[in-house]
A and B are shown apart, each in its own frame.
Chain A
């Protein structure tokens, strides 16, 4: 897509804002609308836009397959391990309260961590599915 100068410039201008908005939705999800799932898809949509204009190979240089596979499994692992940490601390699975000194802080930390896991898995799965479709060839 070398000839589409306007698209290339606009994409480059928009991309940091899309990714920043994704991060905002992720980490501000307990105060404003949003959360891990929304943040993950916004983040992935930003990378899909980038790979549309600059090519899949350029996008995969930033996010190689190995990192995406690690994120895909890592998110679920973070979520499940937060639950296990509760079990070790003597509470119920995913109860969050014993993670910090007070109940509110514990809930807050627990929600933050599991939302991080959700965002990581959703973003990685969306990008993996897109890259797999985009690079698929029959041979």
Chain B
């Protein structure tokens, strides 16, 4: 049963991706990429990673779709016809896809407790979270306590991204004089 759910969601994702490649109307592409994210969130729910699904649904399907639409409002809605034939990109994609599929042959079976990735620090976290922190959610304990430094770094990255957007597009720029174009810059 679960396999069929997986197959149907992944099939819909593949169809969405093909539609995204074929379409020239960028607004429709943005809508479809939001649907793609929602399908990815469903896959995460099937894999019991509900917290990742929250993030994918809220950021991938919600906020980033809105940011894309905002960008389209500032630029243009119709993609230009490519000047070159799509044969070379197709070859590159086929080779990359083949290499990735070849790589999955060595990946451990999903959920295998004997996989090498499960043998290193995971047993320590699973055994000691209850003893050290007294909370049942091991993921939270790993993120906020055992690996608190990494999470601090992540928060600083998000902070930096916000500061970057404010500096590049923020309303404080409106009072600034226009930056003169470079002498080699045409139009």
Interface set of A (CB-CB < 8 Å, partner B): 25, 29-38, 41-42, 44-45, 48-49, 52, 65, 69, 72-73, 75-76, 79-80, 83, 93-94, 96, 103-105, 107-108, 110-111, 114-115, 117-118, 121-122, 124-126, 128-130, 132-136, 139
- With contact pairs A31-B137, A132-B165 given, residues A42 and B155 touching in the complex (Cβ less than 8 Å): no
Q: How far is the CA of A69 from the CA of B55 in the complex (A)?
A: 22
Q: CA A129 – CA B165 in complex, angstroms?
A: 6
Chain B interface SS verdict (over half): helix
Q: Are B136 and A31 in contact (CB under 8 A)?
A: yes
| Dominant secondary structure at the A interface | helix
Q: Is B78 an interface residue (CB 8 A)?
A: no
Minimum CB distance partner of A129 in chain B: B165
Kindly report which residue of chain B lies nearest to residue A104, judged by CB atoms: B134
| Min C-beta distance of A29 to chain B, whole Å | 5
Residues of A within 8 A of B74 (CB): 133, 136
Task: Determine whether the beta carbon of A76 is less than 8 Å from that of B141.
Answer: no
In the bound complex, what is the Cα–Cα distance between A122 and B136 (angstroms)? Answer: 24
Query: B125 contacts the other chain (Cβ, under 8 Å)?
Result: no
Cβ–Cβ < 8 Å partners of B70 in chain A:
130, 133-134, 136
Q: Are A139 and B174 in contact (CB under 8 A)?
A: yes
Contacting A at CB under 8 A, from B119-158, are 132-137, 139-141, 143-145, 148-149, 151-152, 154-156, 158
Give Cα A36 to B55, complex, Å.
11
| Partner pick for A76 among B50, B51, B159, B174, CB 8 A cutoff | B159
The answer to whether the Cβ of B104 comes within 8 Å of any Cβ in the partner chain is no
Bound-state CA distance A110–B55 (Å) is 23
Known: A29-B140, A45-B63. A107 touches B159 (CB 8 A): no
Question: Contacts A121-B155, A130-B66, A132-B166; is A30 near B54 (CB within 8 Å)?
Answer: no
Closest Cβ of chain A to B166, distance in Å, is: 6
Interface range on chain B (Cβ under 8 Å from partner): 35 or more
Give the CA-CA distance A136 to B137 in the complex, in Å. Answer: 41
Closest to A110 in B: B145
In the assembled complex, which residues on chain A have CB atoms less than 8 Å from the CB atom of B170? 132
Cβ of B82 under 8 Å from chain A: no
Q: Which residue of A lies closest to B70 (CB)?
A: A133
Q: A30-B140, A76-B159, A111-B141 are in contact. Are A42 and B58 (CB under 8 A)?
A: yes
- Can you offer 27 A-B residue contacts whose CB atoms are under 8 A? A29-B140, A30-B136, A33-B51, A41-B62, A45-B58, A45-B63, A48-B63, A52-B66, A75-B155, A79-B152, A83-B148, A94-B149, A104-B132, A107-B135, A107-B141, A108-B134, A114-B151, A122-B155, A124-B162, A125-B159, A125-B161, A126-B59, A126-B63, A132-B166, A133-B67, A133-B74, A135-B171
Given A31-B137, A129-B67, the answer on whether A110 and B58 have CB atoms closer than 8 Å is: no
Indicate if the CB atoms of A76 and B165 lie closer than 8 Å. no
Which chain B residue shows the least CB distance to A28? B137
A37 and B55 in contact, given A107-B132, A111-B141, A121-B158 (Cβ under 8 angstroms)? yes
